[in-house]
Structure 1
């Protein structure tokens, strides 16, 4: 019981990286309309430029995702998360008051817009690092039989962070004039992130480095100390021996276990974004406003959607180690297909109303019980120890690049055709189901080292086939 509590406590600290990931990416949903008024309307910017501003943090996410492999391999999982927490804190205050260091006037200007975007990119680097390293940290700490649930807690933290910021944004805007929100309210929304960022930074100093990283740096004694707090002594010794053997097995080049494992990781990440989830998250208030809701009401409907997300993420946590990864992903894809094609149909018929809300809830609920948490679980566990830092970095960078493309093109696509836009996301949902059914392996209940041996055997079989 004591050992389980230890695992849970350090997992909860690591999941604060997920909470900040969700907080930082969703804070824009409440501020997006104000940013359009403050910057885009004042400076007469196009929809494309506004879309790029809303999505600017995603540039940092791509950079952070790419850097995560180098940082987590060189400095460790723990210290990479500490650096991410510092970036979150700087970005929160800088995005709120971008004129603080460089401008005497806070009136909108291209220079001020550029500075705002730079601070958002800094926060995005923190998100990119945390999105890769938080699930990696948990995956390397957690025992195989509960790894899926514990890594899924990171997704719960992401969604909970989004829900928290939905409440914060709603609370800031509630009862205030639109002019006040457009002038001051959006600043408070961004500044509020500094509180969880500071808490994350302080708590990280109390958690250990992962045993697999310690073994990679030939720190076996420290690795055993951590493992002995997780397992009984005999199991800790056996696990340490197994980890050591995995590092001796092959060189740590990215494709040393074959190309398919990298391609599968990248495509899991790309499909997670091409189904359109972040459009629903970033632009939720605007979508509900298009249904005829007032601004306060649209933010409240966003909160309802956030609550649905939390409930269905909990379902994923409870079932991912019982039913497995593949069934959840396929079921989720089918649910997202129904939801997106339903929204598309409502858009084509101009029957925007409660039906649209129902289909959006079906879509987001399906995502949150499947592709939301399960992709992070798979990315944290399918890659072998020797290449995990590099491979996760590639997969996460691909995910953020896909996110940036989908989010920044949404306003332009909607100007062309709302129905076709949502049909595109529905089509991607169908393709995601076919991809999982055909190519993604089941990983339920296997240790990271067992999965590594599975990929080694697959790679050797492929070489035998190609040479014969």
Structure 2
């Protein structure tokens, strides 16, 4: 039951991935971001009623949590796709590659914050801890929606969807920090040829890019990043001969937070390395490294050493941050 509720997040992310092309083509990236915040807000509000559902019917309780996590997953999956597109639309070409690499760092930082807030030992929220956590989770989506509503349309959207030169000039000035609209437009036309998201023709280059992207996404899925975040405490418990007492729970939570911090630091360091050396060598090194470190965890299943398991998890996080999560081609982010 617990595993089903936890795993219900991932079908939502798949739905989020699939709706991005249609949303971006019809509404633009900025407005699509605003729309995808709605499922996350609804999901958190729905999960706020979980205690009431549990008092009514246990089946209803499971349904409320699963549907709520699916809705949150829709926003998470779509945001992973929309964020690189948003960076592409608002940033000058010379800064785009470096800026796009910090997606992993910001994502891992938010995960660490979630671990700290969700810790029973570090923050005592009383009997209504679950409700407080859902209320806190509402804040980023609401704040992000308000921020996006206050921002002008992106330069790319203005170039391709409007003939209002005043809006184009304001967008370039706001996002690029200068008024060289003609140069920004020249760069945009060189990148896209005036095409719109979802309207590009299927050709060998597009098909090759799709296949490479799918392979990269599958390879990242097998790094076990989400698995470590979700089940690390359980895995440590299963290899710890001292049982599952309060001290063991505290150590497991602190270890999970430490692993998140390691991922943040390695992601920032990896971003700097990727901007200098390119994505492909670090991506290959990261995938090989995660394969080896995850193999240690598999072997350690027979040795039952919690210290070795923790070290292997830490190595996995390092390799993920350094390269395994970097699936967007270096200097070719417009293909995302």
TM over 0.5: yes
Aligned to 2:100: 151
- 2:159 corresponds to 1:215: yes
Residue 175 and residue 262 in structure 1: after superposition, are their counterparts in 2 closer, same or farther (change >3 A)? closer
The equivalent position to 2:293 in structure 1, one of 329, 332, 339, is: 339
Q: Is residue 56–residue 120 contact of structure 1 (8 Å, CA) maintained in 2?
A: yes
- 2:5 corresponds to 1:59: no
Aligned to 1:302: 256
Match runs of 1:107-122 below 5 Å: 109-122=58-71
Which runs of 5 or more residues in structure 2 are unaligned? 241-246
Bigger relative contact order (CA 8 A; separation at least 6) = 1
Residue 151 and residue 353 in structure 1: after superposition, are their counterparts in 2 closer, same or farther (change >3 A)? same
**Residues in 1 aligned to 2:49 and 2:136: alpha-carbon distance in whole angstroms:** 12
Aligned to 1:282: 230
Q: Is residue 88–residue 334 contact of structure 2 (8 Å, CA) maintained in 1?
A: no
Deviates more, 1:145-154 or 1:275-284: 145-154
Match runs of 1:438-457 below 5 Å: none
Match runs of 1:344-355 below 5 Å: 344-348=298-302, 350-355=303-308
**Residues in 2 aligned to 1:175 and 1:81: alpha-carbon distance in whole angstroms:** 31
Q: Is residue 333–residue 366 contact of structure 1 (8 Å, CA) maintained in 2?
A: yes
SS for the counterpart of 1:332 is helix
Q: Is residue 282–residue 323 contact of structure 2 (8 Å, CA) maintained in 1?
A: yes
The equivalent position to 2:269 in structure 1, one of 310, 315, 329, is: 315
- 2:199 corresponds to 1:252: yes
SS for the counterpart of 1:278 is helix
Residue 330 and residue 213 in structure 1: after superposition, are their counterparts in 2 closer, same or farther (change >3 A)? same
Q: Is residue 219–residue 287 contact of structure 2 (8 Å, CA) maintained in 1?
A: no
TM-score, reference length from structure 2: 0.86
Match runs of 1:337-376 below 5 Å: 337-348=291-302, 350-372=303-325, 374-376=326-328
Q: Is residue 160–residue 194 contact of structure 2 (8 Å, CA) maintained in 1?
A: no
**Residues in 1 aligned to 2:48 and 2:177: alpha-carbon distance in whole angstroms:** 45
Which runs of 5 or more residues in structure 1 are unaligned? 1-39, 41-49, 384-391, 393-468
Aligned to 1:95: 47
Q: Is residue 155–residue 376 contact of structure 1 (8 Å, CA) maintained in 2?
A: no
Aligned to 1:239: 184
Residue 254 and residue 305 in structure 1: after superposition, are their counterparts in 2 closer, same or farther (change >3 A)? farther
Q: Is residue 233–residue 249 contact of structure 2 (8 Å, CA) maintained in 1?
A: yes
Q: Is residue 88–residue 122 contact of structure 1 (8 Å, CA) maintained in 2?
A: yes
Count of residues in Structure 1 that have an aligned counterpart in Structure 2: 325
Residue 331 and residue 141 in structure 1: after superposition, are their counterparts in 2 closer, same or farther (change >3 A)? same
Q: Is residue 97–residue 333 contact of structure 2 (8 Å, CA) maintained in 1?
A: no
**Residues in 1 aligned to 2:89 and 2:248: alpha-carbon distance in whole angstroms:** 46
Aligned to 2:172: 227
Residue 110 (structure 1) shift: 1.3
SS for the counterpart of 1:208 is coil
Aligned to 2:244: none
Residue 271 (structure 1) shift: 1.2
**Residues in 2 aligned to 1:94 and 1:296: alpha-carbon distance in whole angstroms:** 29
Q: Is residue 288–residue 301 contact of structure 1 (8 Å, CA) maintained in 2?
A: no
Q: Is residue 265–residue 379 contact of structure 1 (8 Å, CA) maintained in 2?
A: no
Q: Is residue 173–residue 185 contact of structure 1 (8 Å, CA) maintained in 2?
A: no
Q: Is residue 136–residue 380 contact of structure 1 (8 Å, CA) maintained in 2?
A: no
